[in-house]
Amino acid sequence: MRYALGVGIGTPIVALLWRTYREALSPAIFIASPFSGTAAALFWAAAGTVYCYVASVPMLTLHSTRKILPGTKLWVYVCLCSIIGAIGLAGVGLVLISHVRILQYAGIIALVAIAGSQLVLLCMVLLNPDETHQFYDQLSKQRMVRPDFVESYRHMKEHGNAVSIVLFELLLAFIIWSLRPVGPVGGNAALVGRVGLILAVWLTPSALVWLIGSSLERYLSRSSS
């Protein structure tokens, strides 16, 4: 259910983004959609589901690095302030909607701030793997001892995660929209490349979470021997 709200909001976002980028295509290369009726509804619902998951990947990074989030280290606050700053930039960009160049700068800075803050958190965790190992080891033991306590905070995290997904959906939509081509382009390669680069920057930090999972797996194999 945590993705239900995100899918409901992600579907119209994808439709609006597609319409915005389609207008930048040359009329000579425009291709009509082969979907209509029920098939079109299912297609957009599937696209909204995919967009919801892609937009929510920063939450994976925050979840994987939550060991250091309650700390007092300066970099933790810098990362969190970067995400908040990205939200502020999006708001400023929307206020100055008629200034295309400012919109583009705001989109680039927001993208770099969100991706960069995640990379900092990941580096802090990967450079000190022992702390993460101990955290998950102790957490797994305490969850079995105090299931009532786990239940008390689980709902907070689930609902907070659902709302955060919507927030990141809106931020990613702003970034993709603000970096759209200003005038018509001669082919769809430029559009695909532009969106592909944005998504590559957006997804790269979360892909590195695999390293944290592998580190925990290695720790588990050693501790059981």
Quote the pTM value.
Answer: 0.78
- Give yes or no for a contact between 165 and 3, defined as CB atoms under 8 angstroms apart: yes
pLDDT at 187 over 60: no
Higher pLDDT, 27 or 147: 147
Quote the tokens at residue 33.
């959609």
- Give yes or no for a contact between 19 and 65, defined as CB atoms under 8 angstroms apart: no
Cα 176 from Cα 111, distance rounded (Å): 9
- Give yes or no for a contact between 202 and 114, defined as CB atoms under 8 angstroms apart: yes
Q: Between the CA of residue 96 and those of 89, 90, 93, 154, what are the distances in Å?
A: 10, 10, 5, 40
Of the candidates 22, 14, 15, 19, the one whose C-alpha atom is nearest the C-alpha of residue 185 is 22
Through-space distance between the first and last CA atoms of the chain, rounded to whole angstroms: 39
Q: How many domains is the chain built from?
A: 1
Domain span at residue 184 reads 4-223
- What's the pLDDT at 117? 84
What's the rounded mean pLDDT across residues 87-106? 65
pLDDT at 204 over 90: yes
The string of pLDDT tens digits covering residues 51-94 is: 999 999 999 998 888 887 665 455 556 656 666 666 665 565 55
Single-letter amino acid, residue 70: P
